[in-house]
């Protein structure tokens, strides 16, 4: 933990040195905010001219020049009013605004050379400690994240203690760029997003829609096997529904504006759970029926600012992998354990075997329900986790206001963590919707509710899958599993007969009959990450065989069509 804090300090200091370099190189530039972040640091600037990639090189060179000067980071405090006046005097309106919102009468100041910053610190002792850093990219950012405020320029960078750590990170970054799901989505013709359609709204192309359907089909069958009932709910609902659920009062900034239908306000749904509870309420339930397990691949819509939209990973319309369990108190632990085991089995099916697991507990201030009930729920979750045998960490105060939860983060091929599965207890909605069941004494009782997602949203999960596998999806998930390429026109009919046989065997096969050289066709189809390429020439046609190449340019030799089917069926 000490190393992590020191790295945070190093990166925060690097942000200051970068700001010093920028204001020296580009007079008139105003500085805003410059924190360390998970993989590095950034600083936001209000510059008269836009920065370009060549500017990054200049700024980095200037940073090295400053670092070599062995300049100390000197801490002091200043009366808040005086600090505000000083910042305004030097045209630093953003720093003045931040200072004005600090509650204390004094503010913390750090000075390094000619650069003075409003900052709590801490920092490294002097700039000479900063040796291994790299500026990475330029992006736009609104001041305070508010699209109605000033548009700033954000420069990202990273820093490490050793050159080896920096080099390793840059190699990893290059690999991540190659695996960027947005590039892969275009190269593999899976999906597209167009401003004329709307930011964050995904158009699935034929192969992408097929991939999505493969995951949905697996998901549905998996839920049937685990005794879930599948539901379907509409995309819009009366605003009254979201008043009952509380979303209108607590989540309205993430909801789209109402539409009026026959003088009644309606909303596009941001959640599926209110509709699931309305289905539960349509009949009386006995304790013998519990737990009731509902599942839906329901498309929901949430407002995200344009600045945070990111391919499939952050969208405005997405298919939620949703499950809701209505359960009696005494069965809570069993159902939590069942949901956890379902999540792990599901993630393993897609090739994810490394996890970080968290138990998120009651928030310190805003929460609903009695503390004694929270304690019972948290204990049930913890008991379920202990029974799994997996290691877990406590995320103190990280639960939602309506209940504690278990979060499962998966580690991808590059070692990056992604939040996917969540098992969330809810005290709130059963009360708001006044749901009940008849207990074994014949009286009405209030059930508990569990929200759970195994994959998260399908859009985001597909983005993670593409990056994890660098687009080379497992055979069962590949939209096209095999392509047949003929050498010349003489093999066209033979190639078509193979295509028919493969399709009859349930293989997702396509055929490439273009009048191109076979080497070109092999290269083109290999770029599509197709698991197997079947080549047929006169020799194969005469012997009723096929020449097979596996992904990764592996020549598997010649075999019969049945031999190929045996190979892929394994």
For 557, the token pair is: 């030799």
Residues 421 and 288 in one domain: yes
What is the rounded average pLDDT of the residues 14-38?
Answer: 92
What's phi and psi for 183, nearest 5 deg? -65, -45
Q: Which pLDDT value is given to residue 222?
A: 97
Of residues 440, 428, 343, the one with CA closest to residue 377 = 428
* Rounded CA separation 511/506 (Å): 15
- The CA distance from 352 to 346, in Å, is 9
Q: CA nearest 381: which of 336, 448, 314, 426? A: 336
Are residues 511 and 413 both part of a single domain? no
Q: What is the pLDDT of residues 147-158, one digit of tens each?
A: 778 889 999 999
Does 2 have pLDDT greater than 60?
A: no
Question: d(Cα 435, Cα 433) in Å, to the nearest integer?
Answer: 6
- 176 located within any domain: no
Q: Radius of gyration over alpha carbons of the chain, in Å?
A: 29
- 46 band by pLDDT with thresholds 50, 70 and 90: very high
- Expressed as residue numbers, the domain containing 364 is 186-226+272-468
Same domain for 463 and 529?
no
Query: What's the CA gap between 163 and 446, in Å, rounded?
Result: 60
pLDDT at residue 545, rounded to an integer:
94
Position 144 in a domain: yes
Q: What is the largest CA-CA distance in the chain?
A: 91
In the DSSP assignment, the letter for residue 181 is: H
- Which residues are CB-neighbours of 444 under 8 A, at least 6 positions away? 436, 437, 438
Does residue 247 sit within a domain? yes
User: Per-residue pLDDT averaged across 472-500, rounded?
Assistant: 96
- DSSP-derived letter for residue 289 is G
- pLDDT at residue number 570: 74
CA angle in degrees (0–180, nearest 5) for 214-218-224: 145
Tokens matching residue 375:
């304690």
Same domain, 305 and 437: yes
Q: Which two tokens stand for residue 181?
A: 């799901």
Lowest mean pLDDT among 73-77, 101-105, 257-261, 537-541: 101-105
The reply to whether omega before 122 is within 30° of 0 (cis) is yes
In a domain, 46, yes or no: yes
- Indicate whether 404 and 321 sit together in one domain: yes
Tell me the average pLDDT across 428-439: 92
Q: Which residue has the higher pLDDT, 456 or 214?
A: 214
For residue 475, being part of any structural domain is answered with no
Same domain, 64 and 19: yes
423 shares a domain with 295 = yes
Q: How is 125-161 classified by DSSP, letter by letter?
A: SBGGG--EEEEEEEEEEEGGG-TTS-EEEEEEEEEES
Can you read off the two tokens belonging to residue 93? 């309106």
pLDDT in tens, 86-113: 889 888 999 999 999 888 888 899 988 8
Cα 26 off chain centre by: 36
Length of the chain measured in residues = 570
Given 417, 445, 468, the domain boundary residue is 468
Distance of alpha carbon 246 from alpha carbon 244, whole angstroms: 5
What is the model's pLDDT at position 90? 87
Give a three-class secondary structure readout of 19-57: HHHHHHHCCCCEECCCCEECCEEEEEEECCCCCCHHHHH
User: For residues 408 and 417, what is the distance between their CA atoms, to the nearest angstrom?
Assistant: 10
Does 60 map to a domain?
A: yes
Q: Residue 542 has what pLDDT?
A: 92
Predicted model pTM: 0.84
Q: Are 312 and 463 in contact (CB under 8 A)?
A: yes
Looking at residue 1, its pLDDT comes to 30
pLDDT of residue 365: 76
Q: Give the separation between CA 498 and CA 480, rounded to whole angstroms.
A: 15
> pLDDT at position 140, please?
86
**Cα→Cα distances 339→130, 388, 422, 432, 442, Å:** 47, 11, 9, 24, 29
Q: Is 466 helix (H, G, I), strand (E, B) or coil?
A: helix
User: What pLDDT sits at residue 488?
Assistant: 93
User: What is the pLDDT at residue 377?
Assistant: 83
What is the percent of the chain with per-residue pLDDT over 70, rounded to a whole number?
Answer: 99
Q: What is the mean pLDDT of the chain?
A: 91
* pLDDT given for residue 427 in this prediction: 81
Residue 144: per-residue pLDDT: 84
Instruction: Specify if 166 maps to a domain.
Output: no
Q: Which residues are catalytic?
A: 273, 302, 320, 322, 324, 405, 451
Q: Do 60 and 154 lie in a common domain?
A: yes
Alpha carbons 189 and 528: distance in angstroms, whole number: 9
Residue 368 has pLDDT above 80, yes or no: no
Instruction: Give the domain-ending residue among 438, 468, 498.
Output: 468
Count of domains forming the chain: 4
pLDDT-based confidence at residue 562 (cuts at 50, 70, 90): very high
Query: pLDDT band for position 250 (50/70/90)?
Result: confident
Say how far apart CA 452 and CA 420 lie, in whole Å: 10
Contact 316, 302 (CB under 8 A): yes
**Domain stops at, among 143, 160, 177:** 160
Token pair of 422 as six digits = 């969540």
In a domain, 11, yes or no: yes
**Under 8 Å between Cβ of 449 and 434:** no
Task: Return the H-helix or E-strand segment holding 385.
Answer: helix 371-388
How far apart are the C-alpha atoms of 201 and 81, rounded to whole Å? 47
Q: Torsion over CA of 337, 342, 345 and 347, rounded to 10 degrees?
A: -110
**Nearest C-alpha neighbor of 126 from the set 108, 110, 112, 109:** 112
Has residue 179 got a pLDDT over 60? yes
3-state DSSP assignment of residue 167: helix
CA distance 147 to 303: 13
Assign residue 22 the CATH number of its domain: 3.30.980.10
Q: Are residues 295 and 363 in the same domain?
A: yes
- With 60 as the cut, is the pLDDT of residue 188 above it? yes
Tokens representing 450 are 């569990």
pLDDT per position as a tens digit, 265-303: 999 999 999 999 999 999 999 999 999 999 999 999 999
The residue that leads in pLDDT, 478 or 140, is 478
Is 210 found in the same domain as 238?
no
CA distance 568 to 530: 13
Tokens linked to 411: 């580690």
Q: Looking at the predicted structure, is the pLDDT value of residue 4 above 50?
A: no
Q: Which of 282, 13, 3, 45 is nearest to 125 (CA)?
A: 13
pLDDT tens-place string over residues 306-340: 778 899 999 999 999 999 999 998 898 899 999 99
Q: What is the pLDDT of residues 204-220, one digit of tens each?
A: 999 999 999 999 999 99
What are the residues whose beta carbons fall under 8 Å from the beta carbon of 33, sequence distance 6 or more? 43, 44, 94, 98
The Cβ of residue 257 has, within 10 Å, a number of other Cβ atoms equal to: 9
- The CATH number covering residue 520 comes to 3.40.50.800
Q: Quick one: 440 and 486 in the same domain?
A: no
Whole-angstrom CA distances from 335 to 54, 82, 380, 407 are 57, 59, 10, 15
- 203 with 238, same domain: the answer is no
Nearest to 339 by CA among 402, 408, 398: 408
Axis crossing angle, helix 80-89 with helix 93-100, rounded to the nearest 10: 170
pLDDT (0 to 100) of residue 3: 36
């Amino acid at each position: 933990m000490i190393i992590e804090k020191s790295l945070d300090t190093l990166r925060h200091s690097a942000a200051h040195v970068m700001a010093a370099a920028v204001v020296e190189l580009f007079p008139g530039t105003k500085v805003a905010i410059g924190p360390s972040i998970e993989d590095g640091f950034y600083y936001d600037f209000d510059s008269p001219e836009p920065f370009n990639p060549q500017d990054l090189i200049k700024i980095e060179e200037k940073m090295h020049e400053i670092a070599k000067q062995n300049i100390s980071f000197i801490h002091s405090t200043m009366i808040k009013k005086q600090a505000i006046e000083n910042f305004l005097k030097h045209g630093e309106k953003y720093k003045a605004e931040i200072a004005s919102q600090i509650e204390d009468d004094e503010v913390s100041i750090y000075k390094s050379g000619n650069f003075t910053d409003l900052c709590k610190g801490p920092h490294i002792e002097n700039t000479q400690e900063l040796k291994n850093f790299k500026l990475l990219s330029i992006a736009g950012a609104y001041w305070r994240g508010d699209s109605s405020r000033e548009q700033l320029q954000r420069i990202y960078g990273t820093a490490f203690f050793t050159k080896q750590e920096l080099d390793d990170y840059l190699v990893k970054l290059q690999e991540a760029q190659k695996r960027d799901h947005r590039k892969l989505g275009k190269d593999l013709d899976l999906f597209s997003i167009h401003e004329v359609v709307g930011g964050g709204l995904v158009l699935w192309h034929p192969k992408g829609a097929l991939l999505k359907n493969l995951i949905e089909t697996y998901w549905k069958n998996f839920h049937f096997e685990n005794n879930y009932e599948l539901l379907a709910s509409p995309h819009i609902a009366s605003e009254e529904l979201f008043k009952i659920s509380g979303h209108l009062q607590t989540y309205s900034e993430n909801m789209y504006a109402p539409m009026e239908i026959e003088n009644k306000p309606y909303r596009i749904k941001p959640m599926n759970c209110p509709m699931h509870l309305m289905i539960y309420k349509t009949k009386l339930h006995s304790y013998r029926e519990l737990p009731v397990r509902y599942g839906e691949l329901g498309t929901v819509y949430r407002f995200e600012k344009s600045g945070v939209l990111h391919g499939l990973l952050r969208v405005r319309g997405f298919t939620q992998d949703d499950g809701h369990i209505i359960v009696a108190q005494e069965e809570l632990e069993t159902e939590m354990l069942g949901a956890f085991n379902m999540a792990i089995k599901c993630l393993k099916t897609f090739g994810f075997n490394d996890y970080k697991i968290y138990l998120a507990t009651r928030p310190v201030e805003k929460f609903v329900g009695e503390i004694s009930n929270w304690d019972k729920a948290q204990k049930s979750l913890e008991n379920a986790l202990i029974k799994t045998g997996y290691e877990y960490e406590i995320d103190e105060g990280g639960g939602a206001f309506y209940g504690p939860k278990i979060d499962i983060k998966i580690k991808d091929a590059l070692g990056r963590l992604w939040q996917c599965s969540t098992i969330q207890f809810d005290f709130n909605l059963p009360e708001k919707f006044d749901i009940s069941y008849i207990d074994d004494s014949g009286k009405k009782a209030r059930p508990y509710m569990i929200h759970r997602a195994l994959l998260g949203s399908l859009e985001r999960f597909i983005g993670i899958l593409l990056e994890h596998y660098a687009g080379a999806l497992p055979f069962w998930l590949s939209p096209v599993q095999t392509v047949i390429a003929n050498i010349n026109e003489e093999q066209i009919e033979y190639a078509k007969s193979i295509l028919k046989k493969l399709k009859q065997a349930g293989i997702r096969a396509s055929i490439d009959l273009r009048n191109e050289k076979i080497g070109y066709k092999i290269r083109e189809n290999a770029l599509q990450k197709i698991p197997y390429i079947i080549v047929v020439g006169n020799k194969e046609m005469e012997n009723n065989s096929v020449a097979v190449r596996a992904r990764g340019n592996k020549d598997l030799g010649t075999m019969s069509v049945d031999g190929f089917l045996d190979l892929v069926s394994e």
